[in-house]
Amino acid sequence: MGRAFFIDKDFHCPKCGHKLDAASHSDGKDHAPEKGDVSLCFKCAAIMVFDDRFTIRKATPEEEEAIMRDEAVRQVYDAILWANEEP
């Protein structure tokens, strides 16, 4: 993971309600998120999209479908679910 960038202070995951106040690049790059970048909740892997550099929203069903066809995203998604699996 790259450096964490702080986002909207009061943003909560639309799916699990987890407070999300920072984002970091899954490929280790050190740049801030850009409009259209995909974000996954690190608690429940909910799929979200950056509207601009520091605000995110839940992906639409159409976006989710397209995003999940991306193998790299899919791997991170699976890793989050695996890491947060109840024992």
Among 16, 22, 72, 83, interactor with Zn ion by CB under 5 A:
16
Question: What span, in angstroms and rounded, lies between the C-alpha atoms of 70 and 49?
Answer: 14
Establish if 41 lies at the interface with Zn ion (CB under 5 A).
Answer: yes
Question: What span, in angstroms and rounded, lies between the C-alpha atoms of 73 and 87?
Answer: 24
Sequence-distant (≥ 6) Cβ neighbours of residue 34 within 8 angstroms: 50, 53
Q: Which region, judged by CB under 5 A, interacts with Zn ion, from 24-32, 35-43, 51-59, 67-75?
A: 35-43
Provide the minimum distance between the beta carbon of 14 and Zn ion in the complex, in angstroms, as a whole number. 8
Residue ranges binding Zn ion (CB under 5 A): 13, 15-16, 18, 41, 43-44, 46
